């Protein structure tokens, strides 16, 4: 695990990571009544605020968050699974802290994974997500808004709904 920058970079990271912009929605999500969801959201928040960089992809970063919280593969529940081409998940299944795989419409419609935080605009399927770019970018995770209408895989921490 790599931590980018020191305290001098915190305010710049806070701005670019979405921490300050989406603070009220993040706080509501971290107050979820689901203890497992709350735990992974708080760990992701800590890693973002600390500037943690994980070698690898979005999958590696989120897997690290889940594992840090005690949710290895044996302690995760797959709620929905399909191919990238669909069928797509009913978004009503989503809870804060769920790890989802979706088509990233803003980046060539490639597969991407992120952690669901909450809805920005539910009608238009726009959600705030914990996201990690990977691809050797050497940038920490961040909060970012995505169109998640083409969600094809949902994982919940803790093994239960």
Domain 2-157 annotated CATH 3.90.1720: yes
Query: Containing H/E element for 11?
Result: helix 10-17
Chain centroid to Cα 93, Å, comes to 16
Cis peptide before 116 (omega within 30 of 0): no
Question: What number of helices (H) and strands (E) belong to the chain?
Answer: 4, 8
Tokens 């997500």 sit on residue: 129
Domain edges within the chain: 2-157
* Window from 2-6, 105-109, 135-139, 149-153 with minimum mean pLDDT: 2-6
**What pLDDT digit, counting tens, does each position of 78-113 carry?**
999 999 999 999 999 999 999 999 998 776 666 799
Q: For residues 112 and 100, what is the distance between their CA atoms, to the nearest angstrom?
A: 8
* Direct distance between the N- and C-terminal alpha carbons of the chain, in angstroms, rounded to an integer: 30
């Amino acid at each position: 695990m790599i931590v980018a920058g020191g305290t001098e970079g915190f305010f710049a990271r806070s701005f670019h990571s979405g921490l300050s912009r989406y603070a009220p929605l993040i706080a509501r999500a971290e107050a979820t009544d689901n203890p497992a969801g709350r735990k992974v959201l708080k760990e992701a928040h800590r890693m973002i605020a600390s500037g943690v960089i994980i070698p690898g992809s979005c999958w590696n970063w989120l897997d690290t968050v889940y594992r840090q919280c005690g949710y290895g593969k044996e302690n995760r529940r797959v709620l929905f699974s399909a191919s990238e081409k669909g069928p797509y998940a009913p978004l009503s299944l989503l809870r804060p802290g769920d790890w989802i795989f979706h088509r990233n419409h803003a980046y060539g419609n490639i597969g991407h994974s992120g952690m669901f935080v909450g809805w920005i605009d539910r009608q238009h399927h726009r959600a705030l997500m914990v996201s990690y770019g990977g691809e050797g970018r050497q940038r920490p995770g961040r909060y970012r808004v995505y169109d998640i209408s083409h969600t094809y895989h949902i994982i919940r921490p803790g093994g239960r709904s």
